Amino acid sequence: MDLEDEGWLSQLLAELRSELSELATSVEPVDMSEAEFAFWTSQMVDGLPFGFDDTDGRVSPSGLAGRLFLAGLADMARIASMAAGISGRPFESATVLLDVAIVFAALVNATDAMRELGAVRHDVRRGESDSAERVAALKRPLAAISEGLMRLRLDEEHALVGRPFHRLLTHVEGRATAHLARRHALGQLDEQTSETEFARNMIYRTTVIESVVALVCVDGRVNRMESRLVHELIGMARLDSADSKRLLGELAAGEGAPISALVDALDAPADRRELLKMVIFAALVDDELSPLEEDFYDDLAVALQIDAGERVQIFGQVARAVAHHPGLIEGLKPDVLVSRARRSATRHVEQWFKRNGKRVAVELKETGHLVALLARWTHEELDSDEHDEIREQIMDIVRSAPALALFAAPGGSLLIPVLAKVLPFSIAPSSFKGVDQDLVGP
């Protein structure tokens, strides 16, 4: 698909027509509060690839930014259709493409396009226009939406194309899409709603970069890699000139915003979790992770009301991303990044296990073979099938013992000593020959 072709958006939506119609009706409606819907949205967005699963963190191949842009829009269209379905008002097959286009118009705050598409949708539902009239009426609003969406696309040469920061900001767009689709499906999407969501999105982007600036300034010195990261993030976020100038001024002065100001800007739990992810990634971009930087994101997590168990889960997600993206920031050594992520995560895992070790023990008793595999993992390498088995069994119990998610991530064996030290039983091989034999079964 050629993004230089003025009809690229129409072509993208046309290719998704049947899939979007099926998705809208395949989702079981659920009566959810706004908070519950926000949680569902976070789970849905986290589970979609947005095209990133194919990048593997390698140096960006030609056209990667465009490919991720189109893949991201396709997944956002799917999110919109599912959000309408779960809200009990699935998009109708006759208007599903118009419905998704209206959501995209709201996403980029193209309010004139929203009104024009709404009029076309009304006529279609009433059978009051022919195809030629519809095509003519769609040309201007689709052009406006295309222009707005293209502003979300990164340049091919951008340093962060395909990197975790890119993915996290794409998730922001995905969550916004879901909320706008829900409003549209319920008949509550208007210009004010569009403007409010757009402003919320920009506040989040600004707050993310403010947090990164505060982090890199906390130890009183900003190195070249950290400075470059902030500049690239500002370019990625498409902030207005006033906010960009203010943030660069904070960076130059070495004085970031206080944590209280960062926390006050965000109230949605999903936004707060994503903010902490960004800060953790930013803390790992250079060769030094100072105690002051560690203290900063610890204090930020507490201020964001992210409890220790959830913090461990977030660390696990970051560790997985770091392990899967050796090219996180060009010029850094991936083994150093992974090592730092694991050291930081280890401390939080240990704290969590000390408080919840007995509960974890009960869960592990139900999966004795898992404990046997973990025991072997302390002194020998397992084969790929055994690694897969560990991941599957851990994910089965991760809801009741969320810290175990970290062991399912690549490199999880590095945290086995923590497990061995803090669990109320031993996982050493010898333990299965005596007192703990009942744990693993015959």
HEC readout, 172-210: HHHHHHHHHHHHHHCCCCCHHHHHHHHHHHHHHHHHHHH
Find all residues with CB under 8 Å of 162, minimum gap 6, and list them. Answer: 52, 55, 57, 58, 60, 64, 65, 68
Query: How many Å is the maximal CA-CA distance in the chain?
Result: 81
5 conformational bin, left if phi > 0, alpha if psi -120 to 50, beta if neither? beta
Q: Lowest-pLDDT range, 52-66, 74-88, 379-393?
A: 52-66
Closest CA to 274 of 176, 190, 186, 192: 176
Q: Which of 59-63, 186-190, 284-288 has the highest mean pLDDT?
A: 186-190
Closest CA to 318 of 352, 294, 283, 267: 283
Distance CA 435, CA 442 (A): 13
| 8 A C-beta contact, residue 259 and residue 299 | yes
Find all residues with CB under 8 Å of 269, minimum gap 6, and list them. Answer: 35, 38, 39, 42
| Cα 3 to Cα 80, 138, 154, distances in angstroms | 22, 18, 13
Closest CA to 254 of 216, 209, 205: 216
Distance CA 57, CA 68 (A): 13
Distance CA 53, CA 153 (A): 18
Q: Which amino acid, 296?
A: F
Distance CA 274, CA 104 (A): 22
Distance CA 243, CA 251 (A): 12
Q: What is the pLDDT of residue 42?
A: 82
Q: 52: which DSSP letter?
A: G
Q: Which amino acid, 345?
A: A
> What pTM was estimated for this model as a whole?
0.67
- CB burial of 324-337 (b: ≥16 within 10 Å; e: otherwise) equals bbebbbeebeeeeb
Mean pLDDT of 96-100: 94
Distance CA 375, CA 428 (A): 6
- Rounded to the nearest 5 percent, the helix, strand and coil shares of the chain are 70, 0, 30
> Phi/psi at 108 (nearest 5 deg)?
-100, 10
Mean pLDDT of 297-305: 88
Residues present in the chain in total: 442
| 8 A C-beta contact, residue 220 and residue 254 | yes
Distance CA 333, CA 317 (A): 19
Name the band, by pLDDT with cuts 50, 70 and 90, for residue 64: confident
Higher pLDDT, 277 or 300: 300
Distance CA 138, CA 143 (A): 8
Residues 237-274 have pLDDT tens digits of: 888 889 999 999 999 988 888 898 888 877 777 778 87
Name the band, by pLDDT with cuts 50, 70 and 90, for residue 327: low
Count other C-beta atoms under 10 Å from residue 228's C-beta.
15
| 8 A C-beta contact, residue 229 and residue 251 | no
Q: Lowest-pLDDT range, 165-179, 297-311, 391-405?
A: 391-405
Handedness of CA 56, 74, 62, 60 (dihedral sign): negative
- Residue 289, token pair as written in the block: 């992770």
For residue 336, pLDDT beyond 60: no
Distance CA 338, CA 441 (A): 35
Instruction: Report residue 141 CA to chain centroid gap.
Output: 30
Residues 352-381 have pLDDT tens digits of: 555 555 655 665 555 566 667 766 765 677
Higher pLDDT, 321 or 331: 321
Residues 101-132 have pLDDT tens digits of: 999 999 999 999 999 999 999 888 888 766 77
| 8 A C-beta contact, residue 148 and residue 73 | no
Give the start-to-end residue ranges of the domains of the chain.
1-189, 344-440
Report how far apart the first and last C-alpha atoms of the chain are (Å, whole number). 59
Residue with tokens 């598409």: 117
